[in-house]
Amino acid sequence: MRRNIVTVPIHKVFGGDSISPAQDLLAVEEPLQIRVNGRDLSITMRTPGHDGELALGFLFTEGILKTRADVLAVDCDENTVTLTLADGVDAGTARNFYTTSSCGVCGKASIESLQAAACAMLPATLRIDREIIHGLPEKLRAAQSVFEHTGGLHGAALFDTSGNLEMVREDVGRHNAVDKLIGAAFLENRLPLAASILMLSGRASFELVQKAVMAGIPVVAAVGAPSSLAVQTALRFGLTLLGFVRDGRFNIYSGLGRLSAP
């Protein structure tokens, strides 16, 4: 198994001129080549681990994959994932992507492209006790094993409507962590995730809301702020978007109807 933490020599400064040698733990960032049916599709910077899930989640949220039956094989090698797709699955319209760990494929999509992908309004029948939301950041943080050692990774987790942790993934890239979650659900034939809450350790950008819409996730909660386009997208597709979920408070940017009083 590839390492996701490395030790490096450093010097620590303690005020004034006091300097001493030490060791520090860092989250690993390495390139991952995604290949589809024998040709290169994407290079993404990521933290090693769950690479197959990352590739599947990425292709699903790009609209290339629809069901588990679309994938015949997933082969993982060092810094390479090769996907073999079923006959009739068209990856030819996909672009060649280069993604960074910080921003994913910047500007890769729009609200109009989600509409073109036939993303429907998310069902509004789900109800969640507001008190459950308050406990999600602490549960996510407690489940982030690599962050505990390095402080350098984003986390994303799926919770059920009672606030029970279903799955957590970490990565140097916010979008990679979410792709890993969605890829794992794809492998388990769980999509759409119509009864799940997506909790993010950072801010809620458009691309993360886009991925949630593609995966049918009705509620996204983030420790940080959403962007304006994230809010527009949430409103367009009926997603409940929560920001600044910390310290016993949060802001509701869309989808108030899914939250009920305790």
Token pair of 214, please?
């593609």
Taking the C-alpha atoms of residue 108 and residue 128, their distance in angstroms, rounded to an integer, is: 32
Residue 154 CB-density burial (10 A; 0-12 exposed, 13-18 middle, 19+ buried): buried
Strands (DSSP E) found in 37-152:
39-46, 71-77, 80-85, 97-99, 128-129
Taking the C-alpha atoms of residue 188 and residue 200, their distance in angstroms, rounded to an integer, is: 22
249-253 contacts, C-beta under 8 A, 24 or more apart: 250/133, 250/134, 250/221, 253/226
Confirm whether 103 is a catalytic residue.
yes
Of 76, 103, 106, 119, catalytic: 103
Query: Given the DSSP bridges, would you call strands 80-85 and 71-77 parallel, antiparallel or unpaired?
Result: antiparallel
If residue 160 lies in a helix (H) or strand (E), which one and from where to where? strand 154-160
> What phi-psi label fits residue 164: left (phi over 0), alpha (psi between -120 and 50 degrees) or beta?
beta
Taking the C-alpha atoms of residue 52 and residue 257, their distance in angstroms, rounded to an integer, is: 36
SS3 of residue 174 by DSSP: helix
Taking the C-alpha atoms of residue 146 and residue 154, their distance in angstroms, rounded to an integer, is: 10
If residue 237 lies in a helix (H) or strand (E), which one and from where to where? helix 228-237
Residues serving a catalytic function are 103
